[in-house]
Structure 1
Amino acid sequence: MSRRQLFGSLCAMVFLVNLARVIYAPLLVPLQQTFGVTEATLGIITALAWFGSASPRFPAGYLLTKTSRMTVVVGSGVLLTGSALLAAVAPSVRVIMVGAFCMGLASGPYFIAAGPLLSELFPRRVGRVLGVHGAASQFAAVGAAPFVIAVLAFGSWRATFYVIAAVTAAVTVAIYLVGRRTALPEAGRADRDLLGAARAQWRIIVAGIAFVSLTGFVWNGVFNFYVIYMMQAKSLSEPMANALLTVLFASGIPAFVVGGDLAERLPTVPFIIGISVAFALSLLALTSVSGLVAVVALTAVVGFVVHCLFPATDTYILGSVPDQHRASTYAVFSGTMMLPQAGGSIAFGVVRDAGFGWDPLTRGAALVLLLAMGGLFGLYADGRLPATGAPVKH
């Protein structure tokens, strides 16, 4: 029972750490109105949350060779509480940028610690558990826009960060208390050599980065600007555009569960490549329609397909790497693949400021992604991409 309670507490925490990363997307319009900044600057703000999430993952992986996963999880909650308070009182756009980076910074160690912990708590259902955990994370993305709309109806955008800080503090205390009375697994205690694990598992790390980085780069640019994209390219009102952002993320809730389950049952590498291909094709379709019904339907398809990628890739890494290397391998993979993803919104903002339209920009990104996935499938067919991690050599 205590493991289930801990799992529930971790699902609450992953909701909050993901909310911290995605909350800036629905806040772009009020932030632009408050500080009078360009779209390129808005892209930097959203990117900083993702750069923050990526930057501590190598140090977090090293930290896990010295301390427990639970210590890192609790520390992440403390950091998120403080950084949300910083964003709430920000007097300038520069402080907002610092707050965005620090809120993202809190999420990085959490994911590095929680993924291996969950795979060890429930070793027989890695894909399902990671999928449900991911779905809990996705509820934050779904609720971000409605949450912001509700807050703005009654007060300032700053209140969003005060609420995040208060709830995170409560959940952090709950995790600490539940963790103290839970018998934690010992599977990862032999994982004490970050660089040794990276050297042993470099092939699956590189493959995982290749699978998710470019797709994540495009996705980061798309979802962070989705409200503005819908308003400017599809001529939708701001409330309708925010509603579509909610649809984009809501369709990811079942996708996490489905993606995790299918990753356990299907050949993982072709499944992951197929997800990225389907994502690119759905973006191409989105750029070619203008009617509201078609835009809503394709928004749901785009969101569902891309969110299948994340539990599938995590299952590919965590489900096939031996205990002695699991957390270290995941830290190296996760920290590296996050960096190129984080630049997606900056690239989209810069290209937009250069005068490119939203539909041509999205169409070009989708075509590049298709070419890249074609190359990866060729490598797989030639036997150059690993299906599992390397065994431990004794």
Structure 2
Amino acid sequence: MALETAGSRESLIRGYSGRMFATFTMVTLFGSLGRLVLSPLLPTIIADLEISRAAAGVGLTVLWAFTALAQFPGGRLSDALSRKTMLLAGLGANVVGFTMLALSDGYAQLVVSLAIVGVGTGLFIPAKYLVLTELFVERRGRAFGVNSAAAEIGGVLASVAAVAVLALGAWRVTFVPVAGILLLGILAFAVWSDERVTLARTRLDVRGTARRLVGNRDLLLLLVTFSLFSFVWQGVTGFLPDFLHVHKEFSQTFASNAFAVLFVVAAIVTPVVGSLGDRLGHARVGVLTPLVGSVGLGVIILAGDRVGVLAGIAVLASGIGSFWPLLYAHLMDALPDQDMGGDFGATRTVFMGLGSLGPAYVGVVVDVSGYVTAFVGFVGCLLVTTALLVAIVRSA
């Protein structure tokens, strides 16, 4: 896609790029809300469905595992068919999954609903990043940062929604407006996208994609880095409210509000850090993010009062919230243009698949030896991630 100037063709608020970006922002925010609200609702869901924390962790792992599995076909089909086709398919599956969550009356239906949401998310995300990559070149870091901030705001709204629905005692109601907004997103993309919906039989070319990724040392190193970080991200965000409520013995309302702080801080920091990465280099700035995150998580583990916990959460958010836009922009620069969709989807399938084990790890370790052991393990993962990023920067 030819771009005339950053000002005339890469606008986040005007013209075709502005309309598309606004729609992406809306569906990212509410899709994130629907997925992240599960964390503050988890104690209530556990009690309502009479399941163990290990079973709850498996449920979250199913969500992220199916999200991961759908990423490669989502990216490959975005290349072979059209971005619009996969945007509509992904949002459609999300609408079905969130509607089923609103109607779920048992653990089995909960898990199936989460699997469908995961598939929809996995099909949608590669197409979203490919469209943003094509729309924004000079402002790519900023665009990714603002889009990531929308996801963080979804986390804030998830905490607010959790407090409200818990007061009503009806956790399933949360997913009704999410399904409705995503349905509006389908209509917006159907009308505004300048691509056509294309259906055809397509080869996924799994072997060719695997050879490109495994044969490239830099991409392989990035893949390991993303996998470790995703493991931490999914485990921490999945169980932080329960950790604060059960281990730290804070009220469920405080735990939900503290969870919101994580996303408020991240929403403020990510656009700024994304723009900084555009100027100084995405990987160079990204080196600091897991290191800062490890400090924040350590403070949360050691803190004995609310002020200390909130301070730790703010530091944690500044680190782990900034990782994604910076390293996604770096990854897009490293992928070959002709196979970008499939290769991007494949990398996300691998690192999100491995990362999806994070919630299951927490659930099992907590039942065996407690939250401190589980979260200290995450601190170690963040430090290893920092070392890997240093190696990536040095090899550039």
TM-score (norm 2): 0.88
Contact 1:130 1:315 in 2 (8 A): yes
Which of 31, 46, 57 aligns to 2:60? It is 46
> Which residue does the alignment assign to 1:309?
323
Deviation readout 1:221-240 (Å, 9 max, x if unpaired): 12211111112332211101
> Which residue does the alignment assign to 1:112?
126
Deviation readout 1:296-325 (Å, 9 max, x if unpaired): 111111112101100011101113434323
> Which residue does the alignment assign to 2:387?
374
Indicate whether 1:275 and 2:267 are aligned.
no
Per the TM alignment, residue 368 of structure 1 is displaced from its structure 2 partner at its CA by 4.2
Which of 230, 253, 256 aligns to 1:216? It is 230
Indicate whether 1:158 and 2:172 are aligned.
yes
Per the TM alignment, residue 25 of structure 1 is displaced from its structure 2 partner at its CA by 0.8
- Work out the CA distance in 2 between the residues paired with 1:210 and 1:267: 20
Equivalent residues in 2 for 1:52-67, closer than 5 Å: 52-67=66-81
Aligned residues: percent identity?
25
Contact 1:194 1:329 in 2 (8 A): no
Q: Which amino acid aligns with 2:372?
A: D
> Which residue does the alignment assign to 1:95?
109
Per the TM alignment, residue 27 of structure 1 is displaced from its structure 2 partner at its CA by 1.6
Indicate whether 1:363 and 2:379 are aligned.
no
Deviation readout 1:273-332 (Å, 9 max, x if unpaired): 321122112212221211211111111111121011000111011134343232222111
Equivalent residues in 2 for 1:1-394, closer than 5 Å: 1-154=15-168, 156-179=170-193, 182=194, 196=208, 199-200=211-212, 202-354=216-368, 356-371=369-384, 373-374=386-387, 377-378=390-391, 381=394, 383=395, 387=396
Closer, same or farther: CA 345–112 of 1 in aligned 2, 3 Å: same
Contact 2:72 2:346 in 1 (8 A): yes
Deviation readout 1:163-200 (Å, 9 max, x if unpaired): 22222112211221111xx489xxxxxxx977546544
- Work out the CA distance in 1 between the residues paired with 2:218 and 2:242: 37
Closer, same or farther: CA 211–271 of 1 in aligned 2, 3 Å: farther
- Work out the CA distance in 2 between the residues paired with 1:295 and 1:252: 16
Per the TM alignment, residue 90 of structure 1 is displaced from its structure 2 partner at its CA by 1.6
Closer, same or farther: CA 151–111 of 1 in aligned 2, 3 Å: same
Q: Which amino acid aligns with 2:387?
A: G
Closer, same or farther: CA 373–321 of 1 in aligned 2, 3 Å: same
Per the TM alignment, residue 380 of structure 1 is displaced from its structure 2 partner at its CA by 5.3
> Which residue does the alignment assign to 2:7?
none
CA RMSD for the aligned pairs?
A: 2.2
- Work out the CA distance in 2 between the residues paired with 1:60 and 1:71: 10
Per the TM alignment, residue 95 of structure 1 is displaced from its structure 2 partner at its CA by 0.8
Per the TM alignment, residue 243 of structure 1 is displaced from its structure 2 partner at its CA by 0.4
Q: Where does structure 1 lack aligned partners over 5 or more consecutive residues? A: 185-191, 388-394
Q: Where does structure 2 lack aligned partners over 5 or more consecutive residues? A: 1-14, 197-203
Give the match's secondary structure for 1:309. helix
Closer, same or farther: CA 258–291 of 1 in aligned 2, 3 Å: same
How many residues end up aligned between the 2 structures?
Answer: 373
> Which residue does the alignment assign to 2:199?
none
Contact 1:209 1:337 in 2 (8 A): yes
> Which residue does the alignment assign to 2:10?
none
- Work out the CA distance in 2 between the residues paired with 1:374 and 1:121: 33
Contact 2:365 2:373 in 1 (8 A): no
Give the match's secondary structure for 1:65. helix
- Work out the CA distance in 2 between the residues paired with 1:79 and 1:240: 33
Per the TM alignment, residue 108 of structure 1 is displaced from its structure 2 partner at its CA by 1.0
- Work out the CA distance in 2 between the residues paired with 1:257 and 1:24: 25
> Which residue does the alignment assign to 1:391?
none
- Work out the CA distance in 1 between the residues paired with 2:348 and 2:280: 23
Contact 1:218 1:341 in 2 (8 A): yes
TM-score (norm 1): 0.88
Contact 1:61 1:194 in 2 (8 A): no
Contact 1:205 1:329 in 2 (8 A): no
Contact 2:41 2:162 in 1 (8 A): yes
